[in-house]
């Protein structure tokens, strides 16, 4: 599974409707249904079932949907951390000052 799959499952869990989820993710309904079947085959468990109102989640699907939200959050935290690492200051800072009483006082405190 990749990042797109996590978003797909998370969005489907919110909407409980394949058509609305497909529209929200800008994909066709058949390709979304195909991807869901591939995820079920990859994991070897049934995750979804059809209802009159849309789609329901099995207990395994419910667990996966909650993990999908965790995976998305974890990915964003990791990405933010990596981007912020570049902004850390490192190295040697050299300051040239004229040796006056105020500057010496400032550097000591």
Say how far apart CA 61 and CA 68 lie, in whole Å.
10
Q: Reduce the DSSP state of residue 97 to 3 states and report it.
A: coil
Q: Is residue 107 part of a domain?
A: no
Domain assignment present for 94: no
pLDDT digits (tens, 9 = 90+) for 20-29: 999 999 999 9
pLDDT at 8: 94
Report d(CA 37, CA 47) in Å as an integer. Answer: 9
CATH number of 52's domain: 1.10.10.10
User: Is 51 domain-assigned?
Assistant: yes
Residue 65 CB neighbours (<10 A) = 19
Q: Is the predicted pLDDT of residue 9 greater than 70, yes or no?
A: yes
pLDDT at 109 over 70: no
Please check whether residue 101 lies inside any domain of the structure. Answer: no
Q: Which domain holds residue 66?
A: 3-85
* Per-residue pLDDT reduced to its tens digit, 31-71: 999 999 999 999 999 999 988 888 999 999 999 999 999 99
Mean pLDDT, rounded, of the chain: 86
What H or E segment, with its residue span, contains residue 57? Answer: strand 55-57
21 forms bridges with which residues in the sheet?
none
Domains identified in the chain, total number: 1
Distance (Å, whole) CA 1 – CA 98: 61
Residue 31 lies in a domain: yes
Residue 39 lies in a domain: yes
Q: pLDDT higher for 98 or 45?
A: 45
Q: Is residue 17 part of a domain?
A: yes
């Amino acid at each position: 599974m990749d990042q797109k799959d996590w978003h797909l499952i998370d969005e489907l869990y919110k909407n409980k409707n394949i058509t609305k989820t497909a529209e929200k993710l800008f994909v066709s309904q058949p390709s979304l249904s195909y991807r869901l079947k591939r995820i079920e085959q990859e994991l070897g468990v049934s995750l979804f079932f059809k209802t009159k109102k849309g789609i329901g989640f099995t207990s395994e699907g419910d667990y996966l949907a909650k993990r999908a939200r965790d995976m998305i959050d974890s990915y964003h935290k990791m990405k933010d951390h990596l981007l912020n690492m570049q902004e850390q200051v490192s190295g040697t800072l050299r300051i040239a000052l004229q040796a006056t009483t105020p500057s010496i006082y400032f550097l000591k405190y």
